[in-house]
Amino acid sequence: MGENESRRERYNMVIYLVSLLFKQTEETISTISIINLLGKTVYNNEYNSEKVQVDVSALPAGVYFVKVNGMDVKKFLKE
């Protein structure tokens, strides 16, 4: 198994969009933050929705963390 194959198993691969969905109907997405590995917030926006798509095509390649409503949710690899 090559390094790229191993990396794909550990991260959600993203090229253009990050899709977020709350499965509980009473919970809505109010804020989304994307943080790089250096801890810098590279995206922050307010919403009022159960489902949100964020265009990350302008972000440089790398590993990022998504915070929804102030909670760590997921990490993803932007190619």
Calculate the CA 39 to chain-centre distance: 14
Tens-place pLDDT, residues 25-43: 567 889 999 999 999 999 9
Mean pLDDT of all residues in 4-17: 50
For the chain, count helices (H), then strands (E).
1, 7
Q: How many domains does the chain have?
A: 1
CATH of the domain at 34: 2.60.40.3080
pLDDT band for 51, please (50, 70, 90 cuts).
Answer: confident
pTM of the shown model = 0.73
Query: Which range marks the domain in which residue 64 is found?
Result: 3-78
pLDDT band for 8, please (50, 70, 90 cuts).
Answer: very low
Quickly list DSSP for 13-33.
Answer: EESSEEEEE-SSTT--EEEEE
